[in-house]
């Protein structure tokens, strides 16, 4: 297959190739060159001509929750595992249509992440490749405990509980461990000793660890532990950012979810007593929404690796995996469009450990490719205008 877009945004910061074509064979980008040369040398290849389009790498969502839905039928104890799995499969097909070809499932129940990978490998469904955390880990009564209704959270106390939870996830096919350590309006939860042990045990067993850490001392504990990614991290400081650079820790800010929930609460109306309570959810969200424009650019400029995650399906968002919207928020916070695109492609692949063959439009890389209408280097919103999606060279969606 030869794809001829108007331009290629490779996923590498500020690299745009004009009037080039891409040769895809056996699921791999074999050559990037002049359209006339590729057409002459490979006359038998099918041609995809995409006038006015930008070719980009498949996008990556590092913070999803499979099987957590806004449909009330999925919110209760009576929802069957089968129904939730069907719902998740539908969402994964929608996610691909949005141009997201890889996700990290930041905790879900009933082995959904592993099952989706297996179903996709058998050709039963179309799904992004999934890096599953499986069951998230929090302290008894801690943040996320309510998700036990989805079988998506295990409550633990102490080193022995944490050891058992990590090993059980490993046994069931997890490639990542998800730890929930704090919530901004509730304070620290898991102790630094517990967090450090969790990171050490996950790494010993060959897994990486992502940690929900909202602010202050909880972030300090995660940095001391040497986790692999900080999720949310709304109150990250430049001093903490320097430690992240030194320890190769990625920041997944999930700007979308805080803005989405803040806007929803504002539109629905907030009781005055909640506005007056400095520790209310509403005021916590308001504070987070204000923080991001202040710290995204300074931390990015100093070299902190930022990558995209959306925290769906934890909200009433009706679509699937709004990475394009997360990129818009990154631009609103001060990044340039191609910097935001790098966060959604190359940076996520590097965190997942697949950056040597996924996350760029480059020769020798897996052909996870998306055609969007317009020039993404000038207007990040064109990421919503998906015209075609290819995963490992296979067309999974086309509106050309």
Helix H, strand E, coil C: the string for 31-45 is: EEECHHHHHHHCCCC
Give the Cα separation of 150 and 134 in Å (integer): 11
Residue 238, Cβ neighbours under 10 Å: how many?
12
Mean pLDDT of 247-262: 94
Asked if the domains 2-57+360-398 and 59-321 are classified in one and the same CATH topology, the answer is: no
Yes or no: domain 59-321 corresponds to CATH 3.20.19.10: no
In the predicted structure, residue 187 carries a pLDDT above the cut 80 = no
Max mean pLDDT among 69-83, 135-149, 290-304 falls in: 290-304
pLDDT for res 185:
65
pLDDT for res 80:
80
Mean pLDDT of 242-257: 97
Q: Are 31 and 42 in contact (CB under 8 A)?
A: no
Mean pLDDT of 380-394: 98
pLDDT band at 85 (very low <50, low <70, confident <90, very high): confident
In the predicted structure, residue 240 carries a pLDDT above the cut 70 = yes
The answer for 127, left when phi > 0, alpha when psi is -120 to 50, beta otherwise, is beta
Give the Cα separation of 250 and 25 in Å (integer): 33
pLDDT for res 253:
96
Q: What is the pLDDT of residues 294-325, one digit of tens each?
A: 999 999 999 999 999 999 865 556 667 899 99
CA 200 to each of CA 163, 224, 344, 358, 393: distance values in angstroms, whole numbers, following the listed order = 10, 11, 28, 27, 37
- Sequence-distant (≥ 6) Cβ neighbours of residue 309 within 8 angstroms: 61, 62, 63, 64, 104, 106, 231, 252, 253, 254, 326
Residue 301, Cβ neighbours under 10 Å: how many?
13
166-170, 189-193, 260-264, 356-360: least confidently modelled range:
260-264
- Of 115, 144, 145, 117, which is closest to residue 130 (Cα–Cα)? 117
In the predicted structure, residue 198 carries a pLDDT above the cut 80 = yes
Give the Cα separation of 310 and 333 in Å (integer): 16
Element (H, E) at 153: strand 153-156
pLDDT for res 84:
82
pLDDT band at 217 (very low <50, low <70, confident <90, very high): confident
Between CA 154 and CA 339, with CA 347 as vertex, the angle to 5 degrees is: 130
pLDDT for res 77:
57
pLDDT for res 52:
97
Mean pLDDT of 160-178: 98
Q: Are 111 and 129 in contact (CB under 8 A)?
A: no
Q: Across the chain, what does the average pLDDT equal?
A: 93
Longest dimension (CA), the chain: 71
CATH level 3 topology of 2-57+360-398:
Urease, subunit C; domain 1 (2.30.40)
pLDDT for res 123:
94
Q: Which two tokens stand for residue 38?
A: 């590729």
pLDDT for res 93:
92
In the predicted structure, residue 75 carries a pLDDT above the cut 80 = no
361 burial via Cβ count (<10 Å: 0-12, 13-18, 19+) = buried
SS3 28: strand
In the predicted structure, residue 68 carries a pLDDT above the cut 90 = no
Max mean pLDDT among 76-80, 256-260, 325-329 falls in: 325-329
In the predicted structure, residue 149 carries a pLDDT above the cut 90 = no
- Of 126, 100, 129, 104, which is closest to residue 386 (Cα–Cα)? 100
pLDDT for res 87:
84
Confidence (pTM): 0.96
pLDDT for res 73:
56
Q: Where are the domains of the chain?
A: 2-57+360-398, 59-321
pLDDT for res 82:
85
Residue 196, CA atoms < 13 Å, CB-side half-sphere: 7
In the predicted structure, residue 234 carries a pLDDT above the cut 80 = yes
- Of 64, 155, 149, 52, which is closest to residue 110 (Cα–Cα)? 149
In the chain, the percentage of residues whose pLDDT exceeds 90 is 77
pLDDT for res 182:
85
- Sequence-distant (≥ 6) Cβ neighbours of residue 307 within 8 angstroms: 60, 62, 229, 250, 251, 252, 343, 344, 347, 348, 350, 351
**DSSP calls for 55-79:** EEEPEEEEEE-TT--SSGGGSSTTS
């Amino acid at each position: 297959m030869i794809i001829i877009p108007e331009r290629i945004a490779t996923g590498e910061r500020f690299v745009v190739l004009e009037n080039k074509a891409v040769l895809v064979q056996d699921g791999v980008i074999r050559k990037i060159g002049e359209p006339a040369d590729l057409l002459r040398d490979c006359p038998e290849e099918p041609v995809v001509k995409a006038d006015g389009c930008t070719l980009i790498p498949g996008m990556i969502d590092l913070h999803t929750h499979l099987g957590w839905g806004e449909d009330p039928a999925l919110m209760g104890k009576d929802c069957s595992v089968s129904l939730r799995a069907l719902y998740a499969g539908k969402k994964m097909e929608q996610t691909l249509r949005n141009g997201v070809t890889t996700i990290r499932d930041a905790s879900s129940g009933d082995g959904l992440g592993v099952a989706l990978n297996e179903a996709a490998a058998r050709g039963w469904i179309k799904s992004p490749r999934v890096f599953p955390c499986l069951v998230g880990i929090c302290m008894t009564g801690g943040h996320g405990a309510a998700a036990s209704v989805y079988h998506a959270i295990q409550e633990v106390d102490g080193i022995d509980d944490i050891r058992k939870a990590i090993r059980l996830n490993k046994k069931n096919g997890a490639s990542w461990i998800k730890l929930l350590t704090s919530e901004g309006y509730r304070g620290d939860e898991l102790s630094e000793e517990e967090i450090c042990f969790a990171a050490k045990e996950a790494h010993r067993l060959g897994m990486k660890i992502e940690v929900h850490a909202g602010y202050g001392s909880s972030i300090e504990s995660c940095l001391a532990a040497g986790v692999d990614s900080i999720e949310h991290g709304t109150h990250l400081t430049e001093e903490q950012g320097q430690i992240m650079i030194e320890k190769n820790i990625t920041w997944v800010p999930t700007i979308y979810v805080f803005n989405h929930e803040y806007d929803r609460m504002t539109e629905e109306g907030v009781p005055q007593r909640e506005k007056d309570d400095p520790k209310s959810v509403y005021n916590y969200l308001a504070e987070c929404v204000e923080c991001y424009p202040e710290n995204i650019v300074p931390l990015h400029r100093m070299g902190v690796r930022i990558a995209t995650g959306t925290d769906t399906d934890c909200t009433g968002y009706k679509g699937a995996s709004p990475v394009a919207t997360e990129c818009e928020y990154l631009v609103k916070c001060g990044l340039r469009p191609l910097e935001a695109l790098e966060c959604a492609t190359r940076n996520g692949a590097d965190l997942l450990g697949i950056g040597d063959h996924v996350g760029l439009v480059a020769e020798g890389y897996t052909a996870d490719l998306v055609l969007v209408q317009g020039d993404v280097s000038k207007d990040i919103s064109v990421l919503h205008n998906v015209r075609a999606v290819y995963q490992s060279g296979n067309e999974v969606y086309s509106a050309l």
